[in-house]
Amino acid sequence: MQENMSIFYGSATGIGSMPHDNPIRALKIIKETLPFGPHWPQLPDRGRQEGFLGQHLSSLISMGLIDPQKGETPFFSDLEKDWPEKAARFYENYFACLDPKKNDDKFPFLPFPRENASGFYKFLKEKWESLSGKPSYLKGQLAGPLSFGLQINAGDGKAAFYREDLRDILNKALALIARFQVRSLKKFSIPVVIFIDEPLLLAYGQSPYISLSREHILQSLGEIVEAIRGEGAYVGVHCCSGGDWSLLFQLPVHIVSFDAYNYLDSMLVYSEELNSFLKKGGCLAWGLIPTSDAIENENAVSLEKKFTNSIERFSRHGVSSKLLLGQYLLTPSCGTGTLTVSQSEKVYRTTFQLQKMLALTD
């Protein structure tokens, strides 16, 4: 990796979702506890439009590609007679966004309207570049194509990810959201990293999803990774469960983010691939701070011990402890959106305390 990865090493950031209904309060705790790597907060308690799916569907709904009224699960309108015209219009807009003559933050449609991302637009109003303790980087995030595509249906009721044409539309819609975030955040002249959130990576290899193709997963993720890198930003991929981590290590990503509190063993299986990733300068994001009721029984001291023990376990599996201790990033194990506000803020404060504690031992 040619980029300056040291901006991430030993720092801390968040995953995304928070239970706050006020973006000002959410940003206050982020600024207090994540000074090196603040992220914009996703606030699903404000309504379905700011949830994992709703936040990313606006452009597809506005062009009539998605029918939001069909039920709890979003459906493509691919069985309608005017589907070819709608799909063609989507691709016209997509390629207009890639026009090098329009390489700014102007899009034919708004991939991320204000009502779908209040935390994002509030984040953009902050003066990050003029803070006395200027952040090392700014973090954004978006849904991953696999997790997105398995939760949206084709007109016939089958998950859209299994359809090549619909999968391509989803990939490109997400890539546009990623590009929009990078272009918006780059105005601060601070490095930008975008995490692709793939909680359903665990589906690959499981019997209910036996027809999932490794090639299709890599192609979909690769398209979004390429879009982010093409905008001059860093790329991370986050999965808050176990899974086939070799998929992510095949991709040209800068950061692999995992739930180290609950799923350490799943990463140990891929120790050889992890060691190779670290040798190339990659950063391992440790989700050490639990985002469940377990946070009530943990603190920075107990989690430091867990980190130390985990390093020793990786070392016994052939992963360089020097690289692990030099190229780590701290995060909560997942977003805190399902917790109470007080629990969420404890997660953030514990992350801050643990980051400072580990920095003293580096």
Structural domain contains residue 218 = yes
32 within some domain: yes
The structural domain count of the chain equals 1
Residue type at 238?
H
If we measure between CA atoms, which residue out of 102, 116, 101 comes closest to residue 53? 116
Query: CA of 219: how far to CAs of 55, 155, 168, 213, in Å?
Result: 23, 23, 10, 10
Does some domain include residue 109?
A: no
For residue 145, the model assigns a pLDDT of 96
What is the structure's pLDDT at 118? 95
Contacts of 196 (CB under 8 A, 6+ apart): 141, 142, 143, 144, 178, 221, 224, 225, 235, 236, 237, 238
User: Residue 106 falls within a domain, yes or no?
Assistant: no
Query: What was the pLDDT predicted at 2?
Result: 55
Confidence of residue 102 (pLDDT cuts 50, 70, 90): low
Pick the range with the lowest mean pLDDT from 69-78, 90-99, 101-110, 298-307: 101-110
- Per-residue pLDDT band for 99 (boundaries 50, 70, 90) equals confident
Mean pLDDT of 163-178: 96
Mean pLDDT value across residues 111-118 = 88
**pLDDT, tens digit, 9 for 90 and up, residues 204-248:** 877 777 889 999 999 999 999 999 999 999 999 999 888 899 999
**Range of the structural domain that residue 315 is part of:** 5-45+115-361
At residue 70, the pLDDT reads 63
> What one-character DSSP code corresponds to residue 189?
-
Is 34 a member of any domain?
yes
Average pLDDT over residues 17-43: 96
Q: Which residues contact 228 (CB under 8 A, 6 or more apart)?
A: 178, 179, 182, 194, 234, 235
Over the chain, what is the mean pLDDT?
Answer: 92
User: For residue 327, is it within any domain?
Assistant: yes
Whether 54 is in a domain gets the answer no
Local structure of residue 250 (DSSP, 8 states): T
pTM over 0.75? The answer is yes
| pLDDT of 38 above 70 | yes
| 176 domain-assigned | yes
pLDDT surpasses 60 at 1: no
Evaluate if residue 42 carries a pLDDT over 70: yes
Q: Given this model, what pLDDT does residue 54 score?
A: 87
Give the whole-number percent of the chain exceeding pLDDT 70: 96
CATH code where residue 221 lies: 3.20.20.210
In this prediction, residue 71 carries a pLDDT of 64
| pLDDT, tens digit (0-9, with 9 covering 90-100), for 328-341 | 999 999 999 999 99
Residue 132 has pLDDT above 80, yes or no: no
